[in-house]
Copies of this chain bind each other. A is one copy, B any other.
Amino acid sequence: MVVVMRLDASEVQISLVNEVLTSHGFGAHLIKGTNRIVIGAVGEERQLLSELGLEGMAGVEKVVPIMKPYKLVSREAHAQSTVIQVKDAAIGGQDIILIAGPCAIESYDQVLSAAQRCRAAGATVLRGGAYKPRTSPYSFQGMEKKGLEILQQVGKETGLATVTEVIDYESLQEASNYVDIVQIGARNMQNFRLLQAVGQSKKPVILKRGLSATIEEWLMAAEYIMASGNLQVILCERGIRTFETYTRNTLDLSAVPLIKELTHLPILIDPSHATGSARLVGSMSKAAIAAGADGLLIEVHPNPCKALCDGPQSLDPDAFAYLSKQLQRVASAVDRGFPTVTTAEL
């Protein structure tokens, strides 16, 4: 790290900082500027930085970290891209992965209907919420275990892999018996206990970016999971909060090439939650693939107007099938493959 001393820092203050650094095993290099002293400190800053208390010391103006705070998620440490195989889906590989299904599981018929149509259109993973973290205590909160059973059943019947969101230790334990992938939602991105619990599970996990999380915080959340033992982390950007009110959130697509540069993990885009509007999902899906995303999470509901949750942002199955064909062309234009479906399979 680099410690910038104040213009008026005294000799004593400078040597106290020096002492703290060397006593913690850092090599300290003093650079005398025209007006001020800057100290370059060489050592294991990742673990010690927050405990040195340098920023609170007299004479210190600021401390600039040099090392990135994450390690396991970093491409510097792991040059090859991670590919996570779940049934037919190789997430992070050459092919674009489509994860589709309703926001909330409402009934067996609803999920089956959505699943069959999504599969026919190229989806390889079925999504469906059993535990719904809702802003209002008066909104529908999910079917819980009953919903998981439906999801598992439909997964078996259609051959689709399945994913559902978990919201605490109990739901994680329960869901792990039914689904192929678990998801940590945006509001739980810094629920560190849940991250650790997921880290101790064997399930692949989709980690959504928090509503106002920086990319660095998001990667630190992934680091929590990996540091706890689970290396199968899939990142998913779903829009960040800004001052704009015409869209629900602002989809940060520049996160895609950045994540590809900084980490070896797969990255998905959720255009449904990001925009909050079915009318914008198509354009943003195409843009996501052109930007280099490994796949998409798209809400598809057999009858969006009757959805118990997030209807306005859901596509109906026809719209999804139409979009899928367009996505195939964009994928091809950026040298990515696309799941193909033969009638025989269906």
Q: Report A's interface with B, CB cutoff 8 A.
A: 2, 4, 7, 29, 31-34, 36, 38, 40, 42-44, 46-47, 50-51, 53, 55-57, 64, 66, 69, 76, 133-140, 167-171, 187-188, 190-194, 196, 211-212, 214-217, 220, 223-224, 227-228, 240-247, 250-254, 256-258, 261, 274-275, 278-280, 282-284, 286-292, 304-309, 311-312, 314, 326, 329-330, 332-334
Contacts of A241 in B (CB 8 A): 212, 243
* Copies of this protein, total: 4
B214 in contact with A245 (CB, 8 Å): yes
Given known contacts A40-B38, A57-B305, A250-B252, A46 and B283 CB-to-CB distance under 8 angstroms: no
A40 in contact with B31 (CB, 8 Å): yes
B289 in contact with A214 (CB, 8 Å): no
Contacts of A304 in B (CB 8 A): 53, 56
Which residue of B is nearest A197, CB measured?
A: B168
Which residue of B is nearest A139, CB measured?
A: B50
B244 in contact with A252 (CB, 8 Å): yes
Query: What's the Cα separation between A253 and B284 when bound, in Å?
Result: 8
Given contacts A247-B258, A251-B254, 11 further A-B contacts (CB under 8 A): A38-B40, A50-B309, A55-B311, A56-B305, A56-B307, A64-B64, A69-B135, A187-B190, A214-B245, A287-B288, A330-B330
Contacts of A275 in B (CB 8 A): 254
A254 in contact with B247 (CB, 8 Å): yes
Contacts of A46 in B (CB 8 A): 136, 138
Query: What's the Cα separation between A250 and B332 when bound, in Å?
Result: 27
Query: What's the Cα separation between A314 and B140 when bound, in Å?
Result: 42
Q: How far is the CB of A138 from chain B (nearest CB, A)?
A: 5
A261 in contact with B279 (CB, 8 Å): yes
Contacts of A214 in B (CB 8 A): 243-246
A56 in contact with B7 (CB, 8 Å): no
Among B193, B254, B256, B326, contact of A168 (Cβ-Cβ < 8 Å): B193
A42 in contact with B47 (CB, 8 Å): no
B278 in contact with A287 (CB, 8 Å): no
Query: What's the Cα separation between A47 and B139 when bound, in Å?
Result: 6
